[in-house]
Amino acid sequence: MLVTDLTDKKYPFLYADDLGTKARAVMRNRGLRILPIVDEHKHLLGVVSRMDVMTITSSISPVRVKGIMSNPKFGATMDMDALEMVREMIRMDEWYVPVTVSSNDSTYAGILGLEAFIRSSLEKDLTNLSKPLSEIMSNRILTCSPEDDVDNVWRLMQGRSFAGLPVVKKGKLIGMVTQKDLLDTGAVSLGFEAKKGRFKAPPKISSIMKTLVISLKPTATIREACELMVQKNIGRVPIVDEKGKLIGIVDREDIARALL
């Protein structure tokens, strides 16, 4: 299987001179985690992440995407081995990688995402899909409280490269907050403005967290987690015991690693 077989060839992109506010709008409307940036010849220049666009606090900012984009940690070409590339993505802690035509042609061709590999594995009905989540879940979980300030949690996500955190109260899972929630609500910008004295207090996580949390028990199978991730477009699933206590978490990297 080659990278071209798993590449989303319709994944959107922007040009280097497009406004950063346009990138933020596209990512918000399409639910994207990264956005490739190209030149006038459609050659790949870099990528913009949710973290990048959340640094733009104004709706009329003149900042261009070339001013906030970064170089991808690595890239893929259409003719590369897909499984080797997925292994490299896991090693580099990257869920999405921009794809170009070849090593000699930097023309943007699409995006390779871990969810494409997970979807492909479901279709192939791999044996490992029947394993329980208890065998792959992480027990070391970073969480936040509903009373935490939004901008502090955002900085925590930024520093640890986390796209989402479980919200816990007295040990029990009561919600989830993700980068998408922060981007959709504009709560990070409100937090920055509050510190400038324009609001009485920065917003709390309780004001933006999702309370209808999709969770699974440790006895659930990898297949069940895969199906949830693909159907609901979610990147991580919290694992709870019979009393609703958070005991683990499984993300796309955990799933992909188990399926390789």
Provide the pLDDT for residue 192: 47
pLDDT reported for residue 60: 65
Q: Decide if 123 is inside a domain.
A: no
Q: Give pLDDT tens digits for 5-38.
A: 999 999 999 999 999 999 999 998 998 999 999 9
Asked if 108 and 82 sit in the same domain, the reply is yes
Indicate the number of domains in the chain.
2
Q: Determine the average pLDDT of the residues in 32-46.
A: 96
What average pLDDT score do residues 175-192 get? 76
**Residue 218 within any structural domain of the chain:** yes
Q: What is the mean pLDDT of residues 75-97?
A: 95
Within this chain, do residues 109 and 47 fall inside the same structural domain, yes or no?
yes
- In the chain, % of residues over pLDDT 70: 93
Q: Are 144 and 220 members of one domain?
A: yes
Q: Are residues 162 and 108 in the same domain?
A: no
Q: Percent of the chain beyond pLDDT 90?
A: 68
- Whether residue 245 is found in the same domain as residue 168: yes
**End-to-end alpha carbon distance in the chain:** 13
Q: Mark whether 145 and 249 lie in a shared domain.
A: yes
Kindly state the average pLDDT of the residues 233-258.
Answer: 94
Distance CA 61, CA 177 (A): 26
If asked whether residues 49 and 81 sit together in one domain, one would say: yes
**Host domain of residue 253:** 130-259
Instruction: Please give, one letter per residue, the 3-state secondary structure of 12-66.
Output: CCEECCCEHHHHHHHHHHHCCCEEEEECCCCEEEEEEEHHHHCCCCCCCCCCEHH
Please say if the pLDDT value at position 191 is more than 80. no
Does residue 83 sit in the same domain as residue 158? no
Same domain flag for 40 and 156: no
- Shared domain check, 225 and 162: yes
CATH code, 49: 3.10.580.10
* Domain co-membership, 104 together with 146: no
Token pair listed for 123: 């279709």
The reported pLDDT for the residue numbered 57 is: 63
Q: Is the pLDDT of residue 241 over 50?
A: yes
